[in-house]
Amino acid sequence: MKKTFYIMRHGQTMFNVRKKIQGACDSPLTELGVKQSKGAATYFKKIKLDHIYCSTSERACNTLEIVTDYRMPYRRLKGLKELNFGIYEGESEDLIPDYKTMTTFFVDFGGESTNRLLERMVHTCTDIMEQANHHIVLAVSHAFACIEFMRAWTDPTEEINKGIPNCCIFKYEYEAGKFTLVNVIRPDGITV
pLDDT band at 187 (very low <50, low <70, confident <90, very high): confident
- pLDDT tens digits, one per residue of 113-156: 999 999 999 999 999 999 999 999 999 999 999 999 999 999 99
- pLDDT tens digits, one per residue of 59-104: 999 999 999 999 999 999 999 999 999 999 999 999 999 998 999 9
Residues 42 and 28: their CA atoms lie apart, in Å, by 22
173: part of which helix (H) or strand (E)?
strand 169-175
Residue-range domains of the chain with CATH: 7-132+147-167+182-189 (3.40.50.1240)
- Crossing angle of helices 58-67/31-44, nearest 10°? 50
Contact 85, 23 (CB under 8 A): yes
Contact 52, 179 (CB under 8 A): no
Residues 16 and 31: their CA atoms lie apart, in Å, by 12
